Structure formats: structure tokens, C-alpha cells
Amino acid sequence: MEIILALALFLIFLIILALGLVVVVLGTLKKGKMGINLAKTGCAQCGEPMPAIRKPANLRQALWGGWTCKQCGTENDKWGRQIRP
């Protein structure tokens, strides 16, 4: 009985893990908030490359990625798209 319970909990854990992986993969393909961007991007306004080590200027940048361009002050998301205030 304990083995069945342990296997059931392990199966539930694997299903939750698989669903999380699906969300991240779809977010990456759709270039959404839940995606991961490994490519180098630049500012949408002036083309300044994103720094390798960034310092988030606000909570949105800390949670979802992105940066503020030092050259022109434009706020960009992790995909290099301009964020409108």
C-alpha cells in the first residue's frame, strides 16, 4: 500500500513537472513572458546591445526579464521589444 501511494505521488510530481516544461517551451516559441531567450538582443529604438549582466530597473524586469537602454532610456523586454508605459 505504501509503495502504491509513493508511486502515485511520484506520478503526480512528474505530471506537474511535464506541464511546467510545456508552458516554458510554448512561451519560448511564442516569445511570451514564460519563455526563455538565450539569443542576444538589442534595443528596439536605437539598436544598442543588451548588456551581458543586467540590473533590473523595476519589478517587471526582475520577474520577467528585460532592461532599460542606457543610451536612449527605452525599456525593452527580454526579446528586445519596446515596452510601452
What is the model's pLDDT at position 11? 97
Torsions phi, psi for 43 (to 5 deg): -65, 135
Average pLDDT over residues 61-73: 91
| Cβ-contact 58, 66 below 8 angstroms | no
User: Residue range 63-71: average pLDDT?
Assistant: 91
Q: Predicted confidence band at 24 (pLDDT cuts at 50, 70, 90)?
A: very high
Q: Does residue 85 carry a pLDDT above 80?
A: no
Residue with cell 544598442: 48
- Looking at every residue in the chain, the average pLDDT score rounds to 92
**What's the pLDDT at 6?**
94
